Chain A
Amino acid sequence: MDDAALRTGPADAPYWHALSEGRLIMQKCQGCGEWKWPAVSRCGDCGTWEPEWHEIALEGKLFSWTRTWHPFGGTEGIGTPFVTVLAYLPHARDRRLLGLYEGDESLLALDLPLVGRIATTRFGDEDIPAIRWLPA
């Protein structure tokens, strides 16, 4: 993706671009220092335009989880049952990111330390860049 596409795309275009290259970047406002998520083009707290992106380690802790059993449309490429985790990122003031979970499901508990790896999820005909969370 070229620079022009990143500027004119949605505010989170750089996130997807980085993820597809195997890196996690998150937005931190250079005006007030606040980590922003979802991505924004203007920081609503201090009014700074185009908050900067920073690469951070793919490390989190478990905030919540669910195991999906019903074969909802669009999840055929995953296959049920599967576990989705909402992880909070201590490196980005606990902003939260979703991801599929891989690993021992008996460990699922609040604040379980997690590490992420970047993969893709099949949705329809598309492979979407995605985070997989694993026990640290």
Chain B
Amino acid sequence: MANGLMGKVAAAGVGVLQYKRAGAPYGERGVLTRAIVAACEDAGLDPADVDGFVSYGDDHNQPDRLMPELGTKEIRLSTSVWGGGGGGLLGAFELAAMAIATGQCKAAVVFRALVQGNSGRLSSAVMAHHVNNHFVAAGITAPAQICALRAMRMALQHNLPQEAVEQLVLADYYHGSRNPEAVSYGQQFDIETYRKSRWIAEPLRLFDCSRENDGAGAILLVSAEHARDLKQKPVYLLGAATGAEKGWGDLLENDDDYTSTGFEPVARRLWEMTGLGPRDIDVTQLYENFTYQGISSLVGHGLISWESAAEDLKFDNLIAPSGKLPVNTSGGNLAQGFIHGINIAVEAVRQLRGQSANPVPDARTCLVCGGPGSPINSSAIFANELP
């Protein structure tokens, strides 16, 4: 089993700028440039020395166009992960780390930028990637509707109680309320707010759905050795995996296991390549485009099972510092903000540095899952010490 990435590469810097949707004061490239420079300043590395650029989800910012403003000396890696959804999030880390570990480049940023005035609504862009007459003929034109069909099957096939789903929303909003960078900072959120929120597509209510922000995020990756010479405590990448197996993909809703979010083969490889298992994960950053998909991600990685979901998904169990299954310690896509998921990777780094607004005591490992339900999905494990 491939384990060539184990601890070879580390996150050395993070930068995020987040605004209300359609509220960015700069154009998309301007926001992105600032996020990359912020990540470099965080690490203490000259932005001109970044020689690798990787994104995902049809990001529009071709790296060569960033060169004049970053002062880039040379681009040695310029690539993106296929797919319109968030499934490529950790795949971007995998590609960047492969390039650094093999010496193809030295300092790579994984980035995602989204400013509605430049790129339009993300949901429309994702749907344009998948939609065709088979969907449109049935009134399906948005990711929320496809995820609703899948969520309904999860609820009915696995008897997933609504109360369990609510616990994830409450945990996200609790973490977000304590995070000054979160859209929900300082807000009281109670279960009645959730229950009274309008239906989007049953069983999804408004508060089951991530809502788009303008902004950009960048994470600077360098070799583990290099990271130890930079300003911040290195956060090592132990492993990352991307993919799909037979019976899963862009199949017009004919995936073999319709209640899956496609993580089973990804998680299997992730455990094999790191030698870790679900019990070794101290904190998880879930990509909850929608609540049910976040829950299915936990099942796909073996952190919970459908049978244990009602018992494991309890508010007290999901929050820092006391829960045994702390998730989305920044507030996640639901309550911290949503720049196509890049925020949850940034939170993984901050959590393992001890800089989270909701620290998990003695956390050494963090699982990050990207995509849920995309044709291609990806996950990674980060750690603040080498095993």
Residues in chain A within 8 A of chain B (CB atoms): 12, 16, 37-38, 63-70, 72-75, 78, 81-82, 84-86, 95-100, 109-110, 121, 123, 128-131
* B184 nearest CB across to chain A (Å): 21
Interface SS majority for chain A:
strand
Selected from B124, B144, B253, the residue in CB contact (under 8 A) with A86 is B253
Whether B2 sits at the interface, judged by CB under 8 Å, is: no
In the bound complex, residues from chain B placing their C-beta under 8 Å from that of A128 are 133, 136-137
Also in contact, A16 and B145, with CB within 8 A (given A65-B152, A84-B138): no
Whether A66 and B202, one on each chain, are in contact in the complex, defined by CB atoms closer than 8 angstroms, is yes
* Assembly CA distance A72 to B124 (angstroms): 10
When each residue 236-269 of chain B gets 1 if its CB lies under 8 Å from chain A and 0 otherwise, what string results?
0000000000000011111000100000000000
* B118 nearest CB across to chain A (Å): 19
* CB-based nearest A residue for B152: A64
What band does the interface of chain B fall in when counting residues whose beta carbon is under 8 Å from A? 20 to 34
Whether B157 sits at the interface, judged by CB under 8 Å, is: yes
* Assembly CA distance A85 to B138 (angstroms): 8
In the bound complex, residues from chain A placing their C-beta under 8 Å from that of B137 are 98-100, 121, 123, 128-131
Selected from B136, B152, B200, B258, the residue in CB contact (under 8 A) with A69 is B200
In the bound complex, residues from chain A placing their C-beta under 8 Å from that of B142 are 70, 72-73
In the bound complex, residues from chain A placing their C-beta under 8 Å from that of B124 are 73
When each residue 121-147 of chain B gets 1 if its CB lies under 8 Å from chain A and 0 otherwise, what string results?
000100000000111111111101100
Whether A74 and B136, one on each chain, are in contact in the complex, defined by CB atoms closer than 8 angstroms, is yes
Also in contact, A68 and B139, with CB within 8 A (given A63-B258, A98-B134): yes
Whether B201 sits at the interface, judged by CB under 8 Å, is: yes
Whether B148 sits at the interface, judged by CB under 8 Å, is: yes
In the bound complex, residues from chain B placing their C-beta under 8 Å from that of A123 are 133, 136-137, 141
* Assembly CA distance A53 to B352 (angstroms): 55
In the bound complex, residues from chain A placing their C-beta under 8 Å from that of B1 are none
Whether B156 and A110, one on each chain, are in contact in the complex, defined by CB atoms closer than 8 angstroms, is yes
